[in-house]
Structure 1
Amino acid sequence: MKLYSIETGNFKLDGGAMFGIVPKSIWQKTNPADEKNLIDLAMRCLLIEDGERLILIDTGIGNKQNEKFFGFYYLWGDFSLDASLAKHGFNREDITDVFLTHLHFDHCGGAIQYNKEKDYLEASFKNAKFWSNESHWDWAINPNQREKASFLQENILPLKESGQLNMIDLPTNGSVLENSPLGFDILFVDGHTEKQMLPIITYKGKKIVYIADLIPTVGHIPPIYVIGFDTRPLITLDEKNDFLQKAVENDYILFFEHDHINELATLKLTEKGVRLDQTYSFSEVFDSI
């Protein structure tokens, strides 16, 4: 097995929305805001090469939306999905599986592209199976008012129409599905959105957790640092407390999707609770194990 960090692009969101009830005087120490109160965020994906399978976890925002839409999110930087794949010798047609942690636009937008010649929306990965779960799918196609702006039908419905959509079963006992069809365990969490899926990948004896929106950045590690976008913040609080404890006990390495500076981190137990131990670049960790 080989793992690759795939940078699909960067964007900005309101810092207050990203930190909920935590005062700006505190969160700006780790995530400084600009004059518009916006903080820098990444859309970092993970590519798993495992035998003949090439599994992409999340896809970034994509490029099919109009200028007005992208204007709300202040895209910046030179990263792109195609350039990141090419850096490692791959292209979209090589991808065998696309695992979507959840269907918010910044996680799944790149799964669907606009075909200008044929004037329709199509799958960006023609040879891949797309993976979601029935509970989250139903939640996304019948969105609540809080999440309606994040669940864009042009990102979601073409997945079904492509004939490439597959559903992962929910765990029958507890919140972790062991040995999923993708070959890794999956932690299901409900605070941010219904049945978000977090891959737990065993790599050379280490556990790598693609933490997605449970802990978007290093600055969100303390349990009460909950995103204002979460639909069930008190559930997030419980899920984070449980996860952080297990992360310390099992020496998890966290892979951050939205931290534009820190790719990976480990945690430690302190007198204030679980906190950041060390941050690492991708090469620092995977070249050493």
Structure 2
Amino acid sequence: MITQEMAAGRFVRQPNRFTDTITADGSSGYPAESGRYRLFVSYACPWAQRTLIVRALLGLDEVISLGVVDPIRDERGWRFPDRDPVTGAAFLSELYLATDGSYKGRYTVPCIWDTVTGRLVTNDFPAITTTFETQFTDYHPTGAPDLYPVELRPDIDELNELVYATVNNGVYRAGFATEQNAYEEAVDALFATLDRLEERLSTRRYLFGDRVTEADIRLYTTLARFDAVYHGHFKCNLRRLVDYPNLWGYARDLYEQPAFRDTTDFDQIKRHYYVTLTNVNPSGVVPKGPVVDWTEPHGRAALSAS
């Protein structure tokens, strides 16, 4: 089940409703403090997995607590397998409505709850990871990676904008299109960008050289779901991820790192998309495949030495 605005057969994503910010100096009213905030996620959701990866890479596991919803969502929205032990909520919707009783949109993950004020601070998924990277620096352990380096931010932002429009959101634009032209427009843009990224990754290990950045995290979560879900379920079937030697090796290179591998749950991913999105898959039958070995050698390290 998904209810999104459609325009001329084109999928239009719901705007993020809660966009308050957490700041290191507290000037926003929400200071970056250890133990104050709770991150709500689904392991099935690509937007939420971004936050899980960054939280792990930056050593914020003990700073920002975690609540995980069940991968199967119905008309009531995301539910907790058991009541959330911090908020007592049975459904994520309770936290949205506790923050704004008139809220009428979808109840989305990821989102951040403030345990002091008892309200949602943000469900603005693009901003959550950069907030962890720039506003919680006092809590980053020694040696934590700089995922959003100042000197690269304009270039990272530019690439992220393209990847979001044509890849991250592009697969949804293809999967939920209700007219042929809208579908083909989305698929053509998606594979044009994947082709560009394949070429870019032929000479560099990661999108910006030898270091993992915010851009890699944003791309990875779509690649991790590509062959398992988007290729067939969303009709993004011009090529598979495994048909791209550089992109496929790059994805496996990232998967080799615990922050990526430990937050990638293929079972939850497939159950969420195939069972929840009944308008795309009315039967709710979950396919057994594809059988893909994410642990086979990738050979990408050689690009760092060249």
Same-fold status (TM-score > 0.5): no
Report 1 or 2 for greater relative contact order, CA contacts < 8 Å, sequence distance ≥ 6.
Answer: 2
Larger-Rg structure: 2
* Greater share of residues in helix: 2
* Greater share of residues in strand: 1
TM-score by length of 2: 0.30
TM-score by length of 1: 0.32
